[in-house]
Amino acid sequence: MENLTNVVSQVKKNLQKVSDLEKLEELTIRYLGRHGLINETLQKIKEIDPGKRREFGQKINAVKEEINKLFLIKKNQLIKNDEALTDFDNTLPGRPYPKGSLHMISYATEEISAIFSKIGFIRMTYPEIEREYFSFDSLNMPPDHPGRDDFETFFLKAQKDPQLGKMILSPHTSSGQVREMWRVGTPPIRMISIGKCYRPNWDTTHTPMFHQFESLCVDRSINITHLKGTIDYFVKQYFGEDREARLRPHHFQFTEPSFEVDITCGVCHGRGDGVKCRVCKSGWLELAGAGMVHPNVLKHGKINANEYNGWAFAFGIERLLMVRGGLKNMRDLYTGDIRFLEQF
Ligand code: DAH
């Protein structure tokens, strides 16, 4: 009993010497821990005359409470000192984490998918590592076609397939056309495929990896007005109601007839040379390739070319971004410079 009274003054003395939270913790354990002084003393209750036990218990608990209070006061003091030392001002606003965003190409991909899903086109992706058959032969491109040179297409060191030819990096999304025909079997087909393409070029308007989106429609009695209507719809949705598209005759092996797609320039609104527009020169900007699917391609796709026909087109996504504005040097998209990318 006697020494219990001393305990409080002992603790007070000891606490004066404590200057950090670690020491405080040690001291707390020494008095209040499982094997600390208070608990050890409590064990002794068995040795005491039963009549006095109650008083003894009450006394210990009072001391315990008092010590507890002393420790708590000291703890708060130490924490306060600590904060004062570190100059912590909890009224300052927090430091925000940098926010991530999607890459421009991912935004464009989402936007284009949404535009086409409204008119019932489903989105597909097809292999980036391809066989010559899907990129060339099935698209009516003969073995000596210049697009099949190794300065136009990346060839991989892999075994040649007896039917499907050499392994390549797909140079255009048109490689998915016959794959889609095989997948669907019997038309109708309404597909868009957005994917990476590869060609060995590197300048302000070309990167060795780029993106295209391909659209393919195969059904009965399809004609050029369906192609033009779809392109018009896309151009107005993506660029704005004031933009016009035109089809200009061209040549592709896999379409007949074939076209290049131009849109009116956003700067001079199609007036061209008359106002000496520096962006377009002619009033029109070239944007895509298109055409009516060649019967030979339908044949490779195991589709009866007498019963069905279709159209196809492909836009370069980087080109879309450049024409819509905001992107001047295509290489900026892929050098990974965050100062450029975070603006979008
Ligand atoms: N594949 C062609 C290219 O990359 C673009 C193209 C032209 C795609 C005409 C088509 C098309 O679907 O009909 O240059």
Domain range summary for the chain, segments of one domain joined by + = 4-86, 104-341
Which CATH architecture is the domain 104-341 placed in? 2-Layer Sandwich (3.30)
- Choice from 217, 231, 252, 311 to test ligand 1 binding pocket (greatest atom count within 8 A of CB): 252
For ligand 1, the distance from its centroid to the CA atom of residue 188, given in whole angstroms, is 20
How far is residue 92's CA from residue 215's CA, in Å, rounded to a whole number?
Answer: 54
Which residue is closest in CA terms to ligand 1's atom 3?
A: 172
Check if the beta carbon of residue 269 is closer than 8 Å to that of residue 282.
Answer: no
For ligand 1, the distance from its centroid to the CA atom of residue 172, given in whole angstroms, is 7
- Ligand 1 pocket, residues with Cβ under 6 angstroms: 172, 174, 214, 252, 255, 289-291, 312-314
Cα–Cα distances (Å) from 218 to 25, 118, 189, 246, 288, in that order, read 78, 18, 5, 22, 19
Ligand 1 atom nearest residue 177's Cα: 12
Which residue is closest in CA terms to ligand 1's atom 10?
A: 313
For ligand 1, the distance from its centroid to the CA atom of residue 146, given in whole angstroms, is 15
Alpha helices per DSSP H over 44-189 = 50-85, 104-117, 132-135, 176-184
Residue ranges at the known binding site: 256
Helix (H), strand (E) at residue 237: helix 224-239
User: Residue 211: what pLDDT?
Assistant: 97
User: Residue 344: what pLDDT?
Assistant: 78
How far is residue 116's CA from residue 229's CA, in Å, rounded to a whole number?
Answer: 13
User: Residue 326: what pLDDT?
Assistant: 67
User: Residue 276: what pLDDT?
Assistant: 67
Query: Over its length of 344 residues, how does the chain's per-residue pLDDT go in tens digits?
Result: 556 778 898 999 999 999 989 999 999 999 999 899 898 888 888 888 888 889 888 989 999 999 999 999 999 999 888 777 777 778 888 888 888 889 999 999 999 999 999 999 999 999 999 999 999 999 999 999 999 998 999 999 999 999 999 999 999 999 999 999 999 999 999 999 999 999 998 888 889 999 999 999 999 999 999 999 999 999 999 999 999 999 999 999 999 999 999 999 887 877 765 666 777 778 888 999 999 999 999 999 999 999 999 999 999 999 999 888 767 888 889 988 888 888 87
- Choice from 216, 254, 296, 317 to test ligand 1 binding pocket (greatest atom count within 8 A of CB): 254
User: Residue 163: what pLDDT?
Assistant: 96
Angle between helices 317-324 and 224-239 (to 10 degrees): 50
Which residue is closest in CA terms to ligand 1's atom 12?
A: 313
User: Residue 86: what pLDDT?
Assistant: 75
Comparing CA positions, the residue from 274, 317, 21, 14 lying closest to residue 172 is 317
For ligand 1, the distance from its centroid to the CA atom of residue 31, given in whole angstroms, is 83
| pTM of structure | 0.73
